[in-house]
Structure 1
Amino acid sequence: MTDHSGKKPHHHGDLRAALIQSGIDILTESGLEALTLRRCAARAGVSHAAPAHHFDGLSGLRAAIAKEGFDRFRTQMLRSRASGSQSPEGRILSLCRGYLDFAVENPALFALIFSCGPMSQFEEDMKAGTATAYGVLRETCAPFVPEGADPLVVETQVWSLIHGFSHLFLAGTFGPDSGPPDHHRLFAPVMALLREIGTPPAPK
């Protein structure tokens, strides 16, 4: 007889959340390739058929994990933004620190949230308010948008800068470095480009 005593029972209402957390744990420990419905079920202590009641296959599970990942991403950016100077410049730099910290602390989850479909979650976030991850970026960039200009220009400048830096950092492009990622010797000089955000290009 199989011993199920080690499994943790889950009420129907929180099984979906338990499966999502199990998926995040698997991502953290073993990477994206290890994420399967069967492994999530085993991790949550339920039958391998249980995820079918909550997700439309593996793609549905990945999408649900990505949504939770974006929520956590937003929370980290908000926390980081609140921890530094509350000047417009300080807030945008602190947000970038939170962005990088999330990527470094959650590399597999970071990869998933930006690879789950055609970035559908982030694209939807761009249409919403500050309750979304993109909304936090948009709100923080707002003071730098020149009157009458398209906010997406400034938002894309900031997003490209910190997203690109985060990916290069994770890839080891900058080489080994000790200490927090935002203390890397290249972080401050690269983020200094934020001072130019929203300023028109010099005439040729």
Structure 2
Amino acid sequence: MDADLQKKPHHHGNLREALVLAGLQLLEEGGPDALTLRKCAALAGVSHAAPAHHFDGLHGLKWALAEEGFRRFRNYMVDAEVTGEQTPRGRMKSICRGYLHFARDNRALFQLIFGFDAKDVPVRPTRDVGSFGYEPLRRCCAPFIPDDVPREVIEAQVWSLIHGFTTLFLAGRFWALEDAPEDGAFDQVMALLDRVGTAPESLGNPGDPS
């Protein structure tokens, strides 16, 4: 692929951004295995030594891509939030749809941002970008948290449902729903969100909070 990379000039003082954009392009075109500092430098139109001034090796570059990925991930959910029914459950489902659509449109980047453990972050960032990206989902869960249940329990229920659905969808592993269109499968599975925050004895007749 090196021979196919065309050098592109960068603006002085904006080299880090140019390298991140080059890394995102490489990631999109070839997946994580296509990422190297040398290829990023070539695509950004700079010397192969230039990335060392901005990243602590390839791992540092990947974390920089993950930071940008979390920002885009959040934007997908925020943008989706206003597209559906404007009720607490409607906004929750819309945010989950944005979650799915980000992963569908950015498969390699989705895999990258969820491939980092906290211990793998190369340096302490100025802000917790993972929490920043996760904020819309946390916010949409807030109306459904009972007084006697830790918020993490409700958030884990919703997050597990949409992340599991998204992962299986990307892998093409919907055996029972293989003939259903994307939206049909999504709506059927996300119907389980109607039970979030509902007492076990009333699960047969879930309803939106007032």
TM-score by length of 2: 0.83
Q: Give the alignment of 1:1-204 within 5 angstroms.
A: 7-118=7-118, 124=128, 132-174=132-174, 181=182, 183=183, 185-202=184-201
| 1:81 aligned partner, one-letter code | E
Shift of 1:108: 0.2
Shift of 1:202: 3.8
Shift of 1:8: 2.8
Aligned residues: 190
Q: Secondary structure at the match of 1:83?
A: coil
Q: Secondary structure at the match of 2:51?
A: helix
| 1:193 aligned partner, one-letter code | L
Is contact 1:125–1:135 with CA below 8 Å preserved after alignment? no
After superposition, give the CA deviation of every residue in 1:38-88 in whole Å (9 maximum; x if it has no partner).
111111111111100000000000001001000000001000011112110
C-alpha separation in 1, matches of 2:148 and 2:71: 31
153-162 or 143-152, which deviates more: 143-152
C-alpha separation in 2, matches of 1:12 and 1:64: 19
Shift of 1:119: 7.8
C-alpha separation in 2, matches of 1:191 and 1:18: 39
Give 2:207's aligned residue: none
Q: Secondary structure at the match of 1:188?
A: helix
Shift of 1:10: 1.7
Long gaps (5+) in structure 1? 1-5
C-alpha separation in 2, matches of 1:90 and 1:120: 35
Is contact 2:70–2:129 with CA below 8 Å preserved after alignment? no
Shift of 1:7: 3.3
TM-score by length of 1: 0.85
C-alpha separation in 1, matches of 2:129 and 2:194: 26
94-103 or 78-87, which deviates more: 78-87
Name the CA shift for 1:151/1:118 in 2 (closer, same or farther; >3 Å): same
Is contact 1:62–1:116 with CA below 8 Å preserved after alignment? no
Give 1:3's aligned residue: none
| 1:107 aligned partner, one-letter code | R
Name the CA shift for 1:76/1:120 in 2 (closer, same or farther; >3 Å): farther
RMSD in angstroms over aligned alpha carbons?
A: 2.3
Long gaps (5+) in structure 2? 1-5, 122-127, 203-210
Could you tell me the percent identity over the aligned residues? 55
